[in-house]
Chain A
Amino acid sequence: MTAHAPLLELQHISLSFKGIKAITDISFAVQQGEICALIGPNGAGKSSLLNVINGVYQPDEGVISFNSKSYSRMKAHQAAVQGIARTFQNIALFKGMSVLDNVLTGRNLKVRSNWLEQMLNSGRAPADYVSQRIKAEEVIDFLRINQWRNSIVGTLPYGLQKRVELARALASEPRLLLLDEPMAGMNNEEKAEMSAFILDTQREFGTTVVLIEHDIGVVMNLSGHVVVLDYGKKVGDGTPDEVRHNPEVIAAYLGTKH
């Protein structure tokens, strides 16, 4: 039996800001269709690593393989074209636009008509709009935000805005979804709801998910694979159970070995 090539593989990734090491020699692989959690104390380098994966930061050293192609440097636009989408720790939506319009922005890379056709609403533009709208509506329905379809995003509660941000990312039909603290600031009920949506995304679309989350209970229930970072280094990598019993991980979280 041959093992499938991982969808995402990081090999010896290092990143520094003006000489300060943020990430040091990190390697791990994420299999197709799995939910992988990046955990670690504040300042461990989790968000920086996510930014490396989707091309916002260029690593000093190392190689990223995505979908069997290797990149030493990948630009953010290139990552999006390759099928990597993300959400942000602090919501980055167009607050003055409606939910539908925000979700439609996630379809930008799928638009086939040019600006002139769109301006004149001719050629490929009308059919293109309909197909983009249908896809956006499917995501809106999937995440159960139909009733807020025409609401201005800035007027919605925080938990719903997080869901809209997930919708925008899903609208691009990503192969790899990066979620930076998707449940930050949510109450338990909202967290359970968001966890269910993430699981559904993986099950229904086969989307691979890499997420950063501080709620360890949520992480252990949601993920099949956990990577633990501390001071920019990898200190654990395995199933939730393996990680839970890893002395280095316990030390990183509690500051002492048990």
Chain B
Amino acid sequence: MVDNTFPHQLLHQAATQPALVALRHKYLGIWHQQSWRELSDEVGSLARALAELGLGQGDTLVLLTYPRREALLLSMAAQWLGAIAAPVDPDLDKDTLALLLSHLQSRFVFAEGQDQVGQALLHGATRVVYAEARGMTAYSHENLHAYIELVQTDTKGVHPLMAREQDVAFALYRITDEQQVQVEHFRHVELLQEGRHLVLTERLGQREEAFAARVFATSGHLRYLLSPWLTAGFTLNFPENIVTRDADRRELGPTLVVGTRETYQRLESLVKARLPIAGSYVGRFVTYALQSDGSRFQKLLAYWLIKRPLKDVIGFSHIHLPLLIGPALSQESLHFFRSLGIHIRTWDKIANWRTLSATTSNKLLAETQTDSIKRALS
């Protein structure tokens, strides 16, 4: 029986299906892939390197980055050591980000590039791992470590696996309108249970190709994308970056997509932009085809001439499970997707946000605002 933690599950997949593709990511316009064995080796090296940097049981590794494979691998390496991965959206406005980072007070940060490194150092990080080297020559390298250096560090042996199923694997943070910091903790065992439930209910297997445009964005992504990936052992695909996600999804044709209401609204508008003018002959034909409940021949014709090309616009030609997490889609949108043959399934769980002490939050807010004012004045 495999222990109920993310790193244990990763090792299990590496042992049972070492050569199958675990992860695919696009870099410089080309898709690269890694097998489960290669992935677990890289996570093992990272765990060793993070341990040498001082990360240990109960520590938090802040992931100040857009979704990228390095963040996922580092989060599992941190969990290997019994630490917590805390993804933070780098697009948060400056003050909110400052408030969160001040609250987290984490010594360990994975930062995407120069901007995020600057933010991390400003808020007390003493060990910063960065992904993009651009602009980093301007910084003192004492506290900075390139991701690639961590992977290539010549480390002998494997660090003992410290993760326990009751450990917190991820912590998500948010700021309320009242400027209070809230946190939601996710234990390994709970995430994996929910992932297994999805895998069994939706009959997911190793052959699935999941698309991970926003892998840490919400609790739903952790529960219904990352956890099923590790339990079912399918392939997770990362786009080149957030702005190329639609083109990359189209290139790839995934079978599993996990999206929020905003994701599906954007996809709907992409499809609608391709539709002909409503009153025209072609427009009327398309409307007929999308609503068609005619003969089998008519349905077949509508599928090949209209539905399939439209599904291809958003990369849904091979979709098996389009998942919606978070707030519901409107009935019109659901109907629109159904007319294309895309049956969106909703999976969600009530969030369990815990407000951190108001005093702490207010004090931090005051400090952050004072810092902002000082920075502006200087």
Please list the residues of chain A having a beta carbon within 8 angstroms of any beta carbon in chain B. 100, 133-134, 137-138, 140-142, 146-147, 149-150, 200, 203-204
Contact = CB atoms under 8 A, between A and B. Distances in A.
Given A146-B240, A146-B241, A147-B243, A203 B135 contact: yes
Interface string B233-249: 00000001101100100
B134 A200 contact: yes
Interface string B135-151: 10110000000000000
Contacts of B243: 146-147
SS of A interface (majority): helix
Contacts of B135: 200, 203-204
A134 to B, nearest CB: 6
B247 A147 contact: yes
Interface string B249-261: 0000000000000
Nearest to A138: B28
Contact of A100 (B29, B240, B244): B29
Contact of A137 (B30, B138, B241, B247): B30
Interface string B304-337: 0000000000000000000000000000000000
Contacts of B240: 146
Contact of A149 (B29, B134, B137, B138): B29
B134 A137 contact: no
A141 B28 contact: yes
A36 to B, nearest CB: 21
A149 B26 CA distance: 13
B29 A147 contact: no
14 contacts: A100-B29, A133-B29, A134-B28, A137-B30, A138-B28, A141-B28, A142-B134, A146-B29, A146-B240, A146-B244, A147-B241, A147-B243, A147-B244, A150-B247
Contacts of B134: 142, 200, 204
B29 A140 contact: yes
A100 B29 CA distance: 10
A203 B134 CA distance: 9
A137 B29 contact: yes
Contacts of A137: 28-30
A203 B244 contact: no
Interface string B26-52: 001110000000000000000000000
Contacts of A100: 29
A142 B243 CA distance: 15
A109 to B, nearest CB: 21
Nearest to A139: B28
A89 B137 CA distance: 32
Contacts of A150: 247
Contacts of A147: 241, 243-244, 247
Nearest to B241: A146
Contacts of A204: 134-135, 137
